Amino acid sequence: MDYPGEKLLTRLWETLAEKGIGSLFAPWQARRMGRAQIDTRRDELLALAQAEKDAEDIRAGKLTYQGGEILPASMPEGRQRSDGRIEPVLDAPALLHEVQKRQLHEEIRREVNVAKAVAVAEEVLEGDEQEPPGSKVNEDWLYSWRDYAGRVSSEELQDLWGRILAGEVKNPGSYSLRTLEFLKGLSKSEAETISKVAKFVIDGLIVRNMDEFLEREGVRFSDLLFLQELGVLSGVESIGLTKKFSSRAKDKYVQYLFAKDKVVILEGEDPNHVVELPVYLVTSIGKEILKLAAFSIDSDYLESVAKGLVSEKVSVKIADWIEVTANSGRYSNERRVDV
């Protein structure tokens, strides 16, 4: 019997193996199915830590790479001066050696960064029961992802690129090349701001006039303006932007507002009823980026928004939500919200 997430993990490994990406994990590919995941990941992380140390020692001149092996570096050659001091010799072979040393250090560092992002993707896909999609990750997209993921060394950004890969394996086309281009220039502080704001996104929008919740998490109005400048949000400076929600059904009012692992369910008798909310809108590129955040929706904020939607014409419920495919899912544990 397959364990939860096994099919998606297999698709991930097959995708990477086809293109030779994540080569530092290659020795474990054949053993993953026959060993406990925790043992496999422990060995992987130990190997990555050793690779990072070797790369730093190569950069520092303590190690060298010869004949397919990493060996202790020999002492640099020099020439004896008349006063007995050693004067280094700067010649073409020595310069070439320095260039090769720096290149090797950089290549190892990039491979380690990619491998760490792949490890994050594995963690994200573990336990995900979704069936692998019929299509595969685009080759050009995958090579672009590898180049960008290889540039980042901070854990926060490695986590971000790992989640991008996991999302693309689940639903190819989820993240455009334009989004990858945007993310490659993202700083750690900018990523942290986006992660904070993601906790307040409901169905591709942030409800206005909820400043107390945002400020509690350190999100100021200036942060929202900055995200608008980046192209993640729109309508921040506007005073009259609203979002209208008409019914999804013809015989009654039904609407679903999705918020990560939760859903707000609106129900009423009048199919012509329209619910309006004052909002900041999340742009197309913003939707791709904000859904990468690892946090669940802020529960107090969601509860407050839900209570604000209760009226004589609409009853409101909050339920747990599990996405099964890119366009479907199931909810459970629904509960009624009262003012």
Say if residue 239 is in the same domain as residue 161. Answer: no
Q: Are residues 59 and 157 in the same domain?
A: yes
CA dihedral of residues 12, 17, 22, 23 (deg, nearest 10): 150
Same-domain status, 238 and 297: yes
Same domain assignment for residues 147 and 68: yes
Spatial CA neighbour of 54 closest among 65, 44, 43: 65
Question: Of 184, 208, 227, which residue sits at a domain end?
Answer: 184
Write the pLDDT tens digit of every residue in 173-210. Answer: 999 999 999 988 888 888 888 888 999 999 999 999 89
| pLDDT of the residue at 10 | 83
Confidence at residue 73, expressed as pLDDT on a 0 to 100 scale:
60
Tell whether 24 and 151 lie within a shared domain: yes
Same domain for 214 and 167: no
Tell me, yes or no, whether 163 and 72 share the same domain. yes
Residue 216 shares a structural domain with residue 176: no
Does 193 map to a domain?
no
> Residue 184, Cβ neighbours under 10 Å: how many?
16
Q: Do 163 and 243 have their domain in common? A: no
Q: Which of 125, 151, 184 is the last residue of a domain?
A: 184
Structure tokens at 300: 């107090």
The number of CA neighbours under 13 Å toward the Cβ of 156 is 14
pLDDT at position 30 is 44
In a domain, 85, yes or no: no
Same domain, 125 and 10: yes
Distance (Å, whole) CA 244 – CA 255 = 11
Give pLDDT, residue 144: 94
- Which candidate, 10, 24, 15, 9, places its Cα nearest to that of 139? 15
Q: Which of 160, 184, 208 is the last residue of a domain?
A: 184
Predicted confidence (pLDDT) per residue in 239-254, tens digit = 768 999 999 999 999 9
Please indicate, yes or no, if residue 36 is contained in any of the structural domains.
Answer: yes
Looking at residue 160, what is its pLDDT?
Answer: 86
pLDDT for the residue 100: 57
- The answer to the question of residue 191 being in a domain is no
CA 88 vs CA 57, 76, 99, 246: distances in Å: 21, 8, 17, 78
Count of structural domains, the chain: 2
Identify whether 82 is part of a domain.
no
The string of pLDDT tens digits covering residues 4-61 is 678 888 888 888 877 777 655 554 444 444 444 445 555 555 565 566 666 566 556 6
Kindly tell me the burial class for residue 205, based on how many C-beta atoms sit within 10 Å of its own C-beta (0-12, 13-18, 19 or more): buried
Structure tokens at 327: 């366009």
pLDDT tens digits, 112-139: 888 889 888 988 888 787 888 888 899 9
Same domain as 71, residue 103:
yes
Q: Which residues pair with 282 in a beta bridge?
A: 233
Pick the closest to residue 24 from 4, 56, 49 (CA basis): 49
Q: Which helix (H) or strand (E) holds 8?
A: helix 6-19
- The rounded distance, in Å, linking the Cα atoms of 17 and 23 is 8
- The share of the chain scoring above pLDDT 70, in percent, equals 73
pLDDT, position 56: 65
What type of residue sits at position 107?
A: E
Q: Rounded mean pLDDT of 82-98?
A: 54
Does one domain contain both 111 and 15?
yes
255: in domain? yes
For residue 66, give its domain range: 6-76+91-184
**pTM as predicted:** 0.69
pLDDT (0 to 100) of residue 33: 43
